Amino acid sequence: MKVLARLAAGVSAAACLAAAAHAQDVSDGVVKVGILTDMSGTYSDLAGPGAVTAAEMAVADFGGKVLGMPIEIVSADHQNKADIAANTAREWGDNEKVDAFAELVTTSTALAVYEIANQQHKIALVSGAASSPLTNDKCIPTGVHYTYNTTALANGTAKAVVAEGGDTWFFITADYAFGQALEADTTKVVEAAGGQVLGSVKHPFPNQDFSSFVLQAQASGAKVIGLANAGADTTNAIKAAKEFGLIQGGQQIAALLMFITDVNALGLDTAQGIQLTTGFYWDMNDETRAWSQKFFDKTGKMPTMVQAGVYSSLMHYFQAIEAAGTDETDAVMAKMREMPINDFFATNGKIRTDGRMVHDMYLVQVKTPEESKGPWDYYKIIRTIPGDEAYGTLDESTCPTK
């Protein structure tokens, strides 16, 4: 595959030269990206309408055209259901001239769309889904896992927690592909660091009342309660843990996946002190602030890493089309892997042949209400985790087509 990729890169470089003169090699006369996301459910704040806005911003910032042909965005609500996601993707690919699928929050829907993208030989740019199998056993040659994954979350948060002495763990895990992947990846990190996993409980997704699971975690006697879930499940679990005196009892919560919208929803009173791993924070430098302010002006919220990742992944996709001189899948994929990603989102980001986009991650701590200067001023960056440390090496990937 590596040889093939290099070959394709060479071919597309040649195509690029040819296309510089006549920019015409765009199928159907339009480059169309389909955003499949959760528009109204539990993940709609961290992805959803904000992700669509980010995609539209990318098109506008790119000038609305690539190789002289218009760029279009279509979007649909997959309701976190794999069958809806697969049917929409199939319909888009077959009849609506969609060239790439993007966003794809919720692992089960991302996996379903991977299947379709592979059959139709189209590109899938995953930002919202987290599970590491997307670039391991379940990888596809045309898939890119862009923003973060469960391996990086485990390497970021779990490693730091174990290093501080949190060496016995109990998991509260969302009972679907994502939760299981996050628990498995974290278990590996904890055990490798000399820690021990005492047990886990799997809760239905979504779940409202976590008191029962918190009580089981309490009874386990573990020093650290790892929350392998996301969105409202995480915030509700944290609230229940505080209410039932888990913290006063000396146990610690590790929220393995938390978005800035979750912190915003919980409020700093409850969320302060939590350590988490993120691929992006709006308030890191002038570039991140400038882009995030534009996003804020349109949506009234600061972007999550997922939304910023959608923008960055689409820009990279458009640039690759331009560089390849065509929107043909293999040529564009080769270019995307060849070109480093340098923008407000990533520095020297690189897409590997297993589909993983490797970039630096950040271990952050939620500020106290006193430290925060106002709305959305939520994180202190404790440590920048180099991309290779966060995601592991390509050799470790079990992707069969890498």
Partner 1 sequence: MFADIFGFPPQVLFGQLLLGLINGAFYAVLSLGLAVIFGLLNIVNFAHGALYMLGAFVAYFLLTYGGIGYWGALILAPIIVGAFGALIERFLLRRLSGVDHLYGLLLTFGLALILEGTFVKFFGASGKPYPTPAGLQGGVNLGFMFLPWYRGWVVVASLVVCLATWLLFERTKIGAYLRAGTENPKLLQAFGVNVPFLTTLAYGFGVGLAAFAGVLAAPITQVGPLMGSNLIIIVFAVVVIGGMGSIVGAVVTGLAMGVIEGLTKVFWPEASATVIFFVMAIVLVLRPAGLFGKTA
Question: What is the contact mask toward partner 1 in residues 117 to 156, using x (rule: CB under 8 A)?
Answer: ----------------------------------------
Count of residues interacting with partner 1 (CB under 8 A): 43
- Whether the ω angle into residue 369 lies within 30 degrees of 0, i.e. cis, is no
- If the CB atoms of residues 44 and 135 are measured against partner 1, the closer one turns out to be 44
HSE of 286, CA atoms in CB hemisphere, 13 A = 0
Could you tell me which stretch among 82-90, 207-215, 343-351, 378-386 binds partner 1 (CB under 8 A)?
207-215
- If the CB atoms of residues 155 and 304 are measured against partner 1, the closer one turns out to be 304
Could you tell me which stretch among 13-21, 77-85, 211-219, 331-339 binds partner 1 (CB under 8 A)?
211-219
Within residues 238-257, the interface with partner 1 by CB under 8 A covers: 239-240, 243-245, 249
Q: Which helix (H) or strand (E) is 286 found in, with range?
A: helix 286-299
Token pair listed for 273: 């002190």
Could you tell me which stretch among 54-62, 73-81, 153-161, 209-217 binds partner 1 (CB under 8 A)?
209-217
**Of 163, 177, 130, residue with least CA distance to 391:** 130
- Does residue 213 bind partner 1 (CB under 8 A)? yes
Token pair listed for 359: 């970039």
Q: Which of 267, 273, 386, 400 binds partner 1 (CB under 8 A)?
A: 267
- Does residue 236 bind partner 1 (CB under 8 A)? yes
Pairing of strands 143-145, 65-66: unpaired
Q: Which of 212, 348, 393, 398 binds partner 1 (CB under 8 A)?
A: 212
- If the CB atoms of residues 46 and 366 are measured against partner 1, the closer one turns out to be 46
Contact 310, 103 (CB under 8 A): yes
Contacts of 278 (CB under 8 A, 6+ apart): 148, 258, 259, 260, 305, 361, 362, 364, 379
Within residues 163-182, the interface with partner 1 by CB under 8 A covers: 175
Question: Inter-axis angle of helices 107-120 and 177-192, to 10 degrees?
Answer: 110
Question: What is the contact mask toward partner 1 in residues 275 to 314, using x (rule: CB under 8 A)?
Answer: --------------------------x-------------
In the complex, least distance from residue 43 CB atom to partner 1, rounded to whole angstroms: 7
Neighbours of 401 (CB within 10 A): 14
Separation between Cα atoms, residue 31 and residue 37, nearest integer Å:
19
- If the CB atoms of residues 71 and 238 are measured against partner 1, the closer one turns out to be 238
Q: What are phi and psi of 23, to 5 degrees?
A: -85, 85
- Does residue 369 bind partner 1 (CB under 8 A)? no
Q: Which of 269, 286, 297, 395 binds partner 1 (CB under 8 A)?
A: 269
The Cα angle at residue 384 between residues 110 and 350, in degrees rounded to 5: 50
Separation between Cα atoms, residue 77 and residue 80, nearest integer Å:
8
Within residues 12-51, the interface with partner 1 by CB under 8 A covers: 40-46, 48
Specify the 3-state DSSP secondary structure of 342. Answer: coil
In the complex, least distance from residue 158 CB atom to partner 1, rounded to whole angstroms: 22
Contact 341, 359 (CB under 8 A): yes
Contact 354, 135 (CB under 8 A): yes
In the complex, least distance from residue 235 CB atom to partner 1, rounded to whole angstroms: 6
Q: Which of 16, 23, 198, 215 binds partner 1 (CB under 8 A)?
A: 215
The alpha carbon torsion through 41, 43, 47, 49 (nearest 10 deg) reads: 20
Within residues 75-94, the interface with partner 1 by CB under 8 A covers: none
Residues that bind partner 1 in the complex, under the rule CB under 8 A = 40-46, 48, 175, 201-204, 206-209, 211-213, 215-216, 218-219, 231-232, 235-236, 239-240, 243-245, 249, 261-262, 264-267, 269-270, 301
